[in-house]
Amino acid sequence: MSTADGPRLQVDVEKQMEGFYLAVQLEADTEVLVLFGASGSGKSSTLDAVAGLQHPDVGHIRLDGECYFRRPRPPATGPRCNLPARERGMGYVFQNYALFPHLTAEDNVAFALRRHPARQRRAGELLERMGLSSLGGRYPRELSGGQQQRVAIARALAPGPRVLLLDEPFSALDLALKARLQGDLLALQRELGLVVLYVTHNLDDAFAIGDRLAVIQEGRVRQVGSVEDVSRHPVDEHVAGIVGVRNLFRARVTGSTTEGLFLDWDGTPLETPQPLPPSSVPPEITAYIHPEDVKIIYPGVPLMEAVRHNLVEGHVVGHRRRGGGHLLLTHLSNGHEIEVAFQDYAYADLSLEPGQTVQLSLRRDAITTLSPHH
């Protein structure tokens, strides 16, 4: 978790890129901050700027107040700085590992310690820490993907950095190996008190390793917060789409009261609990409901208050297991689809195979309205 006692990285930079404008503002303490977004959103460019491999047009990068980059935004003036990458002392693990093919594993790590008086011994210690003590004499081509990844991490840690940058580090590995390496990385981060910026476009990776999540789209940070909070409470529909919120829909507002809104979702009437000031009620809204909050109604059973509203009929078009439960895909009469998630013990006596008709309740209190699309 983040601590106030460890290093603090502050990033506020802008740069004209090909196809978009990078304008990123971030702060990270001793934690794993996940930079999350689609390919081409600016995640890797942000890492490169922090590492000194790419030079922003304006802004600043500081670590514990020490200037790594500064170029004031006009008309402001003042001193400038731009430390070369080799002087920033940051560890960087690239997506393709970037190991030297003509050097052994030990020599790859030792290369990052070229000024260290006992670099071979230190390289051996780091390989041992990564569980590779017997493989120091092998070349990258003689190592598996996971072993190469461990060598790359050992090399990045060799100079004793306070900041570790990881660009899609485990994307090419199988799930079991990825989980093991993510656990090792978390242990190292806690042990060494590192600021870690971890780039990924896989939300499962973010949950596995992240303390906080920064969602980046088209060169800008859209939302920063805990992984759980951002994924369950996206700030707007931009972020909702990026983090893969399920059951996202757009509906026309047909009325409003002090208690909520009345909606028309392509012919399906819905109610939501979000009260909006009358002056700010838009003609259309975007909303979502988590699959866990869509309930299947038992035929012939009196309805409880929680599921009395927003009743819709659908047909099961898909049914698969998910963890300790099930995920049901239903096609509604308005032409849209809704996902329903439930545990093994729920609805056990109902036939929920494809083709079956089901009645659902989109729980009124569980529908969340998002900020308008900009």
Fold for 9-90+161-242, please state it: Rossmann fold (3.40.50)
pLDDT in the model for residue 98: 87
Alpha carbon distance 84, 130 (integer Å): 29
pLDDT in the model for residue 372: 59
**Residue 2 in this model has a pLDDT that exceeds 80:** no
Helix axis angle for 175-192 and 145-157, nearest 10°, is 10
Closest Cα to residue 168, out of 103, 235, 94?
94
Alpha carbon distance 206, 166 (integer Å): 13
**Average pLDDT estimate for 43-69:** 96
**Residue 374 in this model has a pLDDT that exceeds 80:** no
**Average pLDDT estimate for 51-70:** 96
**Residue 105 in this model has a pLDDT that exceeds 70:** yes
CB-neighbour burial class of residue 19 (10 A; exposed 0-12, middle 13-18, buried 19+): exposed
| CATH class of segment(s) 248-369 | mainly beta
pLDDT in the model for residue 172: 76
pLDDT in the model for residue 76: 84
**Residue 217 in this model has a pLDDT that exceeds 50:** yes
Closest Cα to residue 312, out of 329, 293, 326, 296?
296
Average pLDDT score, the chain? 90
For the chain, domain boundaries: 9-90+161-242, 248-369
Quickly list H helices, the chain.
Answer: 43-51, 85-88, 105-111, 119-129, 145-157, 175-192, 203-209, 227-232, 237-242
**Average pLDDT estimate for 337-361:** 89
Closest Cα to residue 136, out of 97, 112, 104?
104
Q: What is the pLDDT of residues 79-88, one digit of tens each?
A: 999 999 989 9
Alpha carbon distance 202, 48 (integer Å): 20
pLDDT in the model for residue 106: 94
Alpha carbon distance 143, 131 (integer Å): 13
| pTM exceeds cut of 0.85 | no
Q: What is the pLDDT of residues 287-297, one digit of tens each?
A: 999 999 999 99
**Residue 139 in this model has a pLDDT that exceeds 70:** yes
**Residue 56 in this model has a pLDDT that exceeds 70:** yes
Model confidence band, residue 373 (pLDDT cutoffs 50, 70, 90): very low
Q: Which residues of 141-151 are buried (b: 16+ CB within 10 A; e: fewer)?
A: eebeebbbbbb
Q: What is the pLDDT of residues 180-214, one digit of tens each?
A: 889 989 999 999 999 999 999 888 889 899 999 99
